[in-house]
Amino acid sequence: MSSFPHLADPLTDGRVVLRDYKERDIPEILIAYQDDPRLHVQNGEDRPPTGAELGSRAEREAALRAAGEGVTLTVLEPGSDTCRGQIRVRNVDWDHRRAELSVWLAPQVRGRGLGRSALRLAGGWLLTDCGLIRLEIMAEPENPAVLHAAQAAGFQREGVLREYQRKRGKGVDMVIMSLIATDLVAEPDRGPAEE
């Protein structure tokens, strides 16, 4: 089984910075959930996490990363160390070298292309340095911000998985998008992003 390396230096493309998730990000994460009452729904959670729950997640991060089960990267604006969102890598299958990504951004920074840039930057790192060959994003059709950001980052829409997940007591369709190394060669769509 493989593991995810720690970032010796943050990843950046000049528009966004990604660094390892740290416990010091928790206050900004709590504020983001407070500022967007639907953020927990977008993230597939029953309710917003508490500070204690986020602390437990931060404590488990090193073990998950070392075991190759997942990794969380913090999204920053250049010149700042304030958490503006996160990219989570989960559902890792090392036999097939694929993983699922999710992204969220604080309401104050949405619509500026940070999600698109963060997904592309994380995708490049995961497909080159980490040895994965396929990345997937699943989002509800009613979540155009994530779908637009993923497409702008180079992810290809593959279709709709009907009633793929159970959420809030009902079957929910999920759009599946993927990124492979050849998608990184093409210049991503730089159209307006609504993330």
Q: What is the mean pLDDT of residues 119-147?
A: 95
Which range has the worst mean pLDDT, 5-14, 52-61, 136-145, 183-192?
183-192
Average per-residue pLDDT for the chain:
92
To which H or E segment does residue 65 belong? helix 51-67
Confidence of residue 163 (pLDDT cuts 50, 70, 90): very high
Q: What is the mean pLDDT of residues 172-186?
A: 92
SS3 letters across the chain? CCCCCCCCCCEECCCCEEEECCHHHHHHHHHHHHHCCCHHHHCCCCCCCCHHHHHHHHHHHHHHHHHCCCEEEEEECCCCCCCCEEEEEEEEECCCCEEEEEEEECHHHCCCCHHHHHHHHHHHHHHHCCCCCEEEEEECCCCHHHHHHHHHCCCEEEEEEEEEEEECCEEEEEEEEEECHHHHHCCCCCCCCCC
Q: Residue 106 pLDDT > 60, yes or no? A: yes
Nearest to 104 by CA among 115, 90, 91, 112: 115
pLDDT at 188: 59
User: Model confidence over 13-54: pLDDT tens digits?
Assistant: 999 999 999 999 999 999 999 999 999 988 888 899 999 999
Q: What is the mean pLDDT of residues 68-89?
A: 97
Residues 66, 3 contacting (CB under 8 angstroms): yes
Beta pairing, strands 85-93 & 98-105:
antiparallel
pLDDT at 193: 44
Q: Residue 192 pLDDT > 70, yes or no? A: no
Beta pairing, strands 85-93 & 71-76:
antiparallel
Q: What is the pTM of this model?
A: 0.91
Structurally, at CATH architecture level, domain 11-185 sits in 3-Layer(aba) Sandwich (3.40)
